[in-house]
Amino acid sequence: MAAPLATVGILSIGSMGLGIAKLLVAHQYRVITNVSNRSAATQKRAQEANLGLVQTDKELVDKSDYILSIVPPRDAVATASRIIQTFSETPPPRQSSSSPLYYLDLNAIAPSTASSIAKSFSQHVPSIRFIDGGIIGGPPSPNADSTTWKRPGIPLSGPFPLHDAEPSGAHLAEVLYTEYLGSDIGSASGLKCCFAALSKGWTALAIQSFGTAASLGVLPSLRRYLDEFSPSTAQRAAKGIEGCPGKAYRWVDEMKEIGVCFETEGGWREQARVFRQIAGVYEGLAEVVERRGGTEGMGNVDGILGAVQGGLGKRE
């Protein structure tokens, strides 16, 4: 087996973070994560994936060449602040390191949020090289041949291209299936917002449309007409609705960040505020999932709509 390449720290090990960690381990990267505040089940999954487990952010910073931030949008700023905070400790980390630390923010945030995080690094820890990014698609997974991988796309932007970084930057950029969009921070996170508006935003409309049809007692007819006149819409709606209950809590703030992006960078002003309402759709769904203690019974469109309709009644 070839010697490991760079060391990559990942915060945190949710389904996407774990998938990317497994992809990197399969390509000879050493991957570490801070598990000090994670459940025993999460720690076990990390160990089974051959990740290195550390107990503090300072240890993660000390040992990493790159840190990937992959957290719910609401936690993006706090996660960056955690890394900045390690440099105020005594002694500060990375005193013996000869290479800069790269911080890749891969969260679903607005360009203005990404710029704010980059500014914080520049003001407090200018030695850290910030890269703006996003993840488009599902978690990586090995294909049937076990030698190739299905990977999401990862657009990147900012003044420090990953493919020029050392160590292993060019190889890491290729393994992660990245595209460098240019030197402007916000380009990559903005692209992610535009993509998610069309995918997750559309799913919220499908939930409302199907849910309203169910309340009217005409859902079977709606689905029959869709199957006849727009079968691709029918398939997309069902797939989107069935895939979102367990992720809805993450999408609440993502929709809000999209609204900020469209309002400021897009120039849509008050029209972009529709995404606050879309966030409310996912907030309602997340509340239903939390109240039910999980997504059991919500494995198909009918089960999800039934749970949502019941949840709307309780909210009223």
Helix axes of 231-243 and 219-229: crossing angle, nearest 10 degrees:
130
In angstroms, the CA 286 to CA 206 distance is 16
In angstroms, the CA 124 to CA 104 distance is 17
User: Under a CB-based contact definition with an 8 Å cutoff, are residues 235 and 202 in contact?
Assistant: no
User: Under a CB-based contact definition with an 8 Å cutoff, are residues 99 and 135 in contact?
Assistant: no
Give backbone dihedrals phi and psi of 267, rounded to 5 degrees, phi first.
75, 20
Q: What angle do CA 41, 250, 173 make, to 5 degrees?
A: 80
- The secondary structure of the chain as a DSSP string is -PPP--EEEEE--SHHHHHHHHHHHHTT-EEEEE-TTS-HHHHHHHHHTT-EEESSHHHHHHH-SEEEE---GGGHHHHHHHHHHHTTSSSPS-TT--SPPEEEE-SS--HHHHHHHHHHHHHH-TTSEEEEE--BSS--EE-TTSSSEE--BEEEESSS-GGG-TTTHHHHHHHTTEEE--S-TTHHHHHHHHHHHHHHHHHHHHHHHHHHHHHHT-HHHHHHHHHHH-HHHHHHHHHHHHHSGGGHHHHHHHHHHHHHHHHHTS--GGGGGHHHHHHHHHHHHHHHHHHHTSSTT-SSHHHHHHHHHHHHHHH-
pLDDT at 96: 82
In angstroms, the CA 148 to CA 177 distance is 12
pLDDT at 261: 98
> Structural domains in the chain?
7-185 (3.40.50.720), 190-315 (1.10.1040)
User: Under a CB-based contact definition with an 8 Å cutoff, are residues 68 and 132 in contact?
Assistant: no
Find the distance separating the first CA and the last CA of the chain, reported in whole Å.
60
Per-residue pLDDT of the chain (316 residues; tens, 9 = 90+): 455 589 999 998 999 999 999 999 999 999 999 988 888 888 898 999 999 999 999 999 999 999 999 999 999 999 999 999 999 999 999 988 888 999 999 999 999 999 999 999 999 999 999 999 999 999 999 999 878 999 999 999 999 999 999 999 999 999 999 999 999 999 999 999 999 999 999 999 999 999 999 999 999 999 999 999 999 999 999 999 999 999 999 999 999 999 999 999 999 999 999 999 999 999 999 999 999 999 999 999 999 999 998 877 655 5
Which residue from 150, 215, 153 is spatially nearest to 181, judged by alpha carbons? 153
By CB atoms closer than 10 A (0-12, 13-18, 19+), residue 208 is middle
Which residue from 13, 22, 10 is spatially nearest to 41, judged by alpha carbons? 13
